[in-house]
Each structure stands twice: as structure tokens, then as C-alpha cells.
Amino acid sequence: MYGPPPPRRDQNDGIPKPKSFKEVFPYIFKVIKGFFSRYFYIFKLVWEASPLILIVMMLATIFNGTFPVIGAKIASELINEIVDAYNNASNLMKPGAGMWEIIQIVFRDTHIDDIIIIELIYLILKSIINNCYNAFVNISGEKVANHIKVKIITKAKTIDIAQFDRPEFYEKFENASREATFRPIQIISSTFTMLSNLISMISFIVVLAVLNPWAPIIVIVISLPAAIIRFIYGRKNFLYMRRRSKDRRQMEYYSQIMTNKDISKEVRLFNLSDTFIGKFKATFKKYFKGLKSLIVRENAWHIVISIATALVNAALFLYVAARVIEDPQRFTVGDYSFYASSLSSIITCVGAIVASTATVYQGTLFIDNVIEFNKLQPQIVPLEMPALDVKRHIAHTIEFKNVSFSYPGTDKLVLKNVSFTLDKGTTTVLVGLNGAGKTTIIKLLTRLYDPTDGVILLDGEDIRKYDTTQLYKMFGTIFQDFGRYAVSVEENIYYGDIEKGLNEEDVISAATKSGASDYIEKLDDKYKTKLIRFFDEDATDLSIGQWQKLSVARAFYSDSDILILDEPTASLDALAEQQIFKQFEELTENKTSVFVSHRLSSATTADKIIVLEYGQIIEEGSHKALMEAKGKYYELFTTQAKRYIDNSQAK
């Protein structure tokens, strides 16, 4: 039902390139439309995180925009006053006056002191606002990043297990997680930086227009090539990063292998460390080569462009100087400073606008990864609405009817036309060699996947018609690769029924039934003992067998109608496994239960045994019936029994 993987979209950002001139304008329109829709999405995200962020940034923008022109005006007024004082110096002070005298004269006979006080207030205000703004942006950045991370993991909660089999999913996840941390706030703050620069630029243009309205226009026009290069390379960089997501994930994987608690033992003993470090380095080399070439080429362009820009700017400065000198009646030295700093501010503003616009553009491309991830839709949903309610606390019947299945993105049928019934209140054991399809049956039974063909009925109705949350709650399933959580012992158990909450008596009872209580009682903090020494020094590590008993206790704790154990007892000895199965059978009276086990001795008391081979059922019946039939089960059973007898005799 998931079909083959969709074509990779990493060659462009989803919009096919124009093939003829006629398609150019619709293409540009689509690019712009895409840009704005992503752009608004980011504003929505930030607004969701906190509306205050946008409001404060907007106010700061107005301040930041108008401050530079005020600063330049103050500086030019100061120069004029100083020039006046300089010209009047012979009237104001005696030759050889000391510093103290000069300061007194400045305060008494000039306006320099007033302007310096204004400058002081201006500088203090500017610094306070700048620092508050920076602190605010940093805090908001964390807040927004957290909001998006929560959104991503909340989304991951709804994603089908089937997606976890697909490299494409991890690619989307990696891309989304990487961008979420900094892009949105970067885009928003760049937007406001751009706006404040725009305000400053416009005010300086107004100032400079007195001299010549064309000067600012020239500055803007000559900045265009740099802008174009930034946009082009922003996009190239985005496409490159997207194409190379696999490399980054590989590097992440290799580095995790080196630090993963479970794998590191094997890595050490097989001396694989250098192999994986080598793989890490080789992948980085490949990844870095392309990135370096992009960075070098972009900057080479910028060097050429900036030399041309510097020449034009120098000519403009010369022009401003010439205009001021040309008309000494009208312009003062202070005016020159004002116009010259206006010109250089316009140049700076234009550069900043180009840079922040490019950042915004590139950021919106990257944010596409977050949008894409959030767009993933679960396929495992009720077939029709309203969904059927799952009847609880009754014995259920499950029927597989001609079920075939291949894992998403693969063609190989791992189950072929499988039909069987799990009758109300009975215990069934699935038997078969590794890879026969036992776990796959459990995954279909619990609706983690849907069949490729055929149907599964729960109490006579298609399992896909039921409410999925209620359905999941009905099963108490412990898989081979059960969860080992770095929390306390009792939490590990009560996670079997999170809705019931932590009931200490029930936790102890579940642990007793699974046989876990024996070792738990010996732990320092008993049920409160923290597990896995990941976070706490005083935590405890358990053996695989102990973990297995704990996971079985979790199943006992659950308030499920159908109990499923998929070989979580493989590391226990045959006796312990048999005891657990016996407990299950007693406890699961009136409950339907399914076990997967490779130890056939545990199967003997089951109501039904299903023998699988290469995804097909080859035998089905009670232990007695199958032994009498002398087929595959008989063969497997006698081989195992013989081995046990031989082993015990050898001892």
C-alpha cells in the first residue's frame, strides 16, 4: 500500500526548471509563491512559540532603523560646533590655557557640552537597546527551536512504523531536526535586520538627496550583482546540503557506533574502531569537497564584485567632497561628515539588506525540510469514519484471511497467502526458523503495518475499521527487541499501562509473575533503582535475562485483552521460559494470547501451534496432532528434544 519510493526530489526544490521561454514567468511566479508560503509558515511557527517575539522585534526594528541617522546627525552637529569653537578659539581663551580652563570655556561659551550629553544619552540608549535585543533574540531562539523540536517529535509520534523502514524518512527527519534549531529565528531576525536597514537606508537617502538623488541609486544598482550571487549560491548550497543528507547521516551513524554502549564492546574486540573512523573521514572528505568548492566559487565572485564596487564607491566619495567644497557658503565641514557618513551608511545598509535577504531566502528553502516532515501523513488510520470502537475486557477472535505482505519499498513477499484463526481465549504459538515471518505476523496483527493483500478480522470486522489508539491499547505486546528505558525499575514496569498510572502493588505483582522480583529485591533501591548508567552514576545495569524478565513484567502489568510475546524470553533458560509461559496461560484464561518461540518445549501446552516456513503456513494444530502427523513440527521437536537429552547426558 506504500508503493515504491517516490522519485528523489533532491535535484531541485520541487519546482521543475523551465524548458522554454514561455515557462520562465510561471516558474518565477512559482518560486516567489513558494518563497512566501514558506515565509509565512515561519512567522506562524514563531507566533505559535510566542507572539511577543514578533512584537518586540518589530519595535526594535524601528529603533535600530532610525538610530544610525540620529547618530550621524549628532556627530555632524558636534563637528560644526567644534569647528566654530576652533575658529573662535582666539576670542575665547588666552594662549597657553590649561586643560581645566579649556573645559570650563567649553561648558560656558559653546554648545559642545550639550551635544556631548545628547551623544552620551544616545550611546547609552543604543547600547541598552542593542544588548536587550541580543539577549531577547538568543532567548527567543531557544524558545522557538524548542517549540519546533517538540512539534517534530510530536509528529514522529503519529508517523507509521512503516516509515521507520525507509531511508527517505530518516533523511527528512535529519533535515528537519538540523534546521529546526536555528533557521526560524535566524529568518525572523534577518527579516527585521533587513527592515531596520531599509529604514536607515531610506533616511540616509533622504539626507543625501539634498546633494544628489542619483548617488544612492548608483549604490543600490552596483550592489545587485553581489545580491544575485548570494541568491544563486544560497540555493546551490541548499540543494547540495539536501543531496548530501545521506553523508551527514552516515557520519552521525559512524560516530554513534563509536560511543554506543551496546555496540562499543564488539567494536573494541573486533578492532573495528579505526575502520569506522576511516569511514567517517572518507565520508566527510566526499561531503566536504563539494561544499568547499561551493564556498570558494561564491567568494571568488564576491572578491571580483567587491573590487568593482569599491571603485564606484570611491568615485562617489570624491563626488561628495567635490560638491561640498564647491559651495562653501552652503555646506560646512559638519555637513561633509554627515553626507559622507550617509553615503557610507547607505553602502553598509545595502550590503546588510542583500545579506539578510539572501539569508532569509536560503532559510526559507531549508525550512522546507521542516514543512515536508510535518506534512508526512499516517497511512495507518481507520478505514472509514466514524471508526469502530474496540470492545474491551472480552475474549477476542482474530482471523487472517489470505494475507500476503511485503515490507514498504520492497517487492519480496515475506508472507504469502496466510490464513489462520486465533480463537477466543486460546493460546497460539508461532513456530518456524529465523526469517520465516513470525514477527511480521505480529506486526500485522497489531496493525503496525497493513497487509499488502488479504484482510485481518478482529471479532469479524476488518481490523482497519477500528480506532487505532483503542486497538493499540488492547494489545499487550513484548517484542524481541523490547524497550529498555533509562528510568527506574518500577517505571519500566508501569509503562505497560501508562493510563492506569503507577500502582506499586500491581508493579510488585507483575514483577513476581515474571520472576523479576527475585533480583529486584536485591537491588539497592529495589523498585526505585534507576536503570542504565546513562544519566545517573548510581544507576544500575541489568543482564539481558534480567531485562527480559522486566519486559515480561511490563506485559503482565498491562491491561490488555490480547497478550503477545515475541521471543522476549530467548535469553532465559528453558525452565524460566516455560514458567513464564505457564504463568501467561494461567493468567490469560479467557484472554487470547500469542507466543513466538524457537523452543518447542514451550509450545506443548498451547491450544494451537502454527508452523511457518518461508512466509507460508505449512502445519497447524495441537502439539499432539502435529506430533502424530510426523511432519515438519515433529522433525523440529524431535531434533530439539534429542539435543536436550544429549546435552543433559553429556553433563
- Give CA angle at 540 (505, 529), nearest 5°: 25
Distance of alpha carbon 337 from alpha carbon 390, whole angstroms:
80
Which residues does 516 contact at the CB level (< 8 Å), separation at least 6?
Answer: 493, 546, 549, 550, 552, 553
Give the residue with the Cβ less far from ligand ADP, 25 or 164: 164
In angstroms, give the least distance from the CB of 435 to ligand ADP. Answer: 4
H or E element in which residue 580 lies: helix 574-587
In angstroms, give the least distance from the CB of 437 to ligand ADP. Answer: 4
Give the residue with the Cβ less far from ligand ADP, 165 or 620: 165
DSSP assigned state of 171? H
In angstroms, give the least distance from the CB of 645 to ligand ADP. Answer: 26
What track of x and - describes contact with ligand ADP for positions 413 through 452 (by CB under 6 A)? Answer: -x-----------------x-xxxxxxx------------
Question: 415 by DSSP, 3-state: which?
Answer: strand
In angstroms, give the least distance from the CB of 417 to ligand ADP. Answer: 15
Q: Which residues in 162-191 contact ligand ADP (CB under 6 A)?
A: 165
Q: Which residues in 576-635 contact ligand ADP (CB under 6 A)?
A: none
Say whether residue 396 binds ligand ADP (CB under 6 A).
no
In angstroms, give the least distance from the CB of 494 to ligand ADP. Answer: 28
- List Cβ<8 Å contacts ≥24 apart for 156-160: 158/378, 159/376, 159/378, 160/378, 160/379, 160/380, 160/448, 160/449
Q: Which stretch in 69-77, 331-339, 350-358, 407-415 sits in contact with ligand ADP by CB under 6 A?
A: 407-415
Letter for the amino acid at 332?
T
Give the residue with the Cβ less far from ligand ADP, 405 or 584: 405
Give the residue with the Cβ less far from ligand ADP, 338 or 482: 482
Distance of alpha carbon 591 from alpha carbon 392, whole angstroms:
11
Among 11, 127, 410, 590, binds ligand ADP (CB under 6 A): 410
Q: Which residues in 96-135 contact ligand ADP (CB under 6 A)?
A: none
Among 122, 276, 407, 634, binds ligand ADP (CB under 6 A): 407
Letter for the amino acid at 363?
G
- List Cβ<8 Å contacts ≥24 apart for 213-222: 215/316, 215/319, 215/320, 215/343, 216/346, 218/312, 218/316, 219/312, 219/313, 219/316, 219/343, 219/346, 219/347, 219/350, 220/350, 222/308, 222/309, 222/312, 222/313
Say whether residue 68 binds ligand ADP (CB under 6 A).
no
Question: 278 by DSSP, 3-state: which?
Answer: helix
Say whether residue 141 binds ligand ADP (CB under 6 A).
no
Strand pairing report for 592-596 and 616-621:
unpaired
Give the residue with the Cβ less far from ligand ADP, 172 or 438: 438
| Number of residues located near ligand ADP, criterion CB under 6 A | 12
C-alpha cell at 515: 520472576
Give the residue with the Cβ less far from ligand ADP, 172 or 443: 443
In angstroms, give the least distance from the CB of 436 to ligand ADP. Answer: 4
In angstroms, give the least distance from the CB of 605 to ligand ADP. Answer: 22
Give the residue with the Cβ less far from ligand ADP, 412 or 522: 412
Give the residue with the Cβ less far from ligand ADP, 439 or 551: 439
C-alpha cell at 231: 541568491
In angstroms, give the least distance from the CB of 508 to ligand ADP. Answer: 32
In angstroms, give the least distance from the CB of 564 to ligand ADP. Answer: 12
In angstroms, give the least distance from the CB of 273 to ligand ADP. Answer: 28
Q: Beta partners for 612?
A: 432, 617
Termini Cα distance of the chain? 53
Closest CA to 48 of 182, 190, 150: 150
C-alpha cell at 42: 515561519
Give the residue with the Cβ less far from ligand ADP, 65 or 437: 437
| Site of interaction with ligand ADP (CB under 6 A) | 165, 407, 410, 414, 432, 434-440
